[in-house]
Amino acid sequence: DAGVIQSPRHEVTEMGQEVTLRCKPISGHDYLFWYRQTMMRGLELLIYFNNNVPIDDSGMPEDRFSAKMPNASFSTLKIQPSEPRDSAVYFCASSLGSWERTEAFFGQGTRLTVV
Amino acid sequence: GEDVEQSLFLSVREGDSSVINCTYTDSSSTYLYWYKQEPGAGLQLLTYIFSNMDMKQDQRLTVLLNKKDKHLSLRIADTQTGDSAIYFCAERTLRNTDKLIFGTGTRLQVFP
């Protein structure tokens, strides 16, 4: 397996535009996580899914953020409208089960810059 | 509540040992992890320890766990320039078995 695949790797957009980040988890994994990393706040969990169902979205900062997982092999994180303070690296991660030893496998991240 | 804290920076000379520290608040931690993030990359698991263990050694890496003080450390022996990265500790708890709670990350800088 190629691991968790995110696209695009880099995104530069103007304030007010819609941004869609994409993630393909590792095949067979039943948990998918979206994280945001900034210098100020470190690594924040935004939302996670189990078997394509959102379980906890308490980390989503505002209604401008939404995430979907239409099937087991694809998820999107959308920001509409985007703002400069959304600039960050967004990571997707997946894991198999919630067994206590389970590690999360991370994608390479999408570096988002909103100007 | 759940809170995982780390110091932000550590600078060491090549060949010396590095010790990265982490404290957590949730006593129901079951597994604790160390992840490494190299520049421009995602996080990769380095090692993990079960909460009923005190120590785990894996080549140059030694993990120490003090459950009483809720303190976790990662020691890297013979630190190399390739070890320069951000190191995150993370915990999985009985309260939240689905997800990992990450610390703020420690940026390790190795100089020659």
Q: Tell me how many residue pairs between chain A and chain B have CB atoms under 8 A apart.
A: 54
Nearest chain B residue (CA) to A6 = B42
d(CA A87, CA A92): 16
Residue-wise pLDDT tens digits, B28-71:
888 899 999 998 889 999 999 998 899 999 999 999 999 999 99
Q: Which tokens go with A89?
A: 């690296």
The residue assigned the tokens 């689905």 is: B98
Separation in Å, CA of B14 to nearest CA in chain A: 26
Residue-wise pLDDT tens digits, B66-104:
999 999 999 999 999 999 999 999 988 877 777 788 998
Q: Between vectors from CA B47 to CA B45 and to CA B49, what angle results, nearest 5°?
A: 130
The Cβ of residue A23 has, within 10 Å, a number of other Cβ atoms equal to: 25
- Our separate counts of H helices and E strands in chain B read 0, 11
CB spacing of B98 vs A101 below 8 angstroms = no
A4 contacts in B (CB within 8 Å)?
Answer: 42
Confidence band, pLDDT 50/70/90 cuts, at residue A1? low
Residue-wise pLDDT tens digits, A30-56:
999 999 999 888 888 999 999 999 999
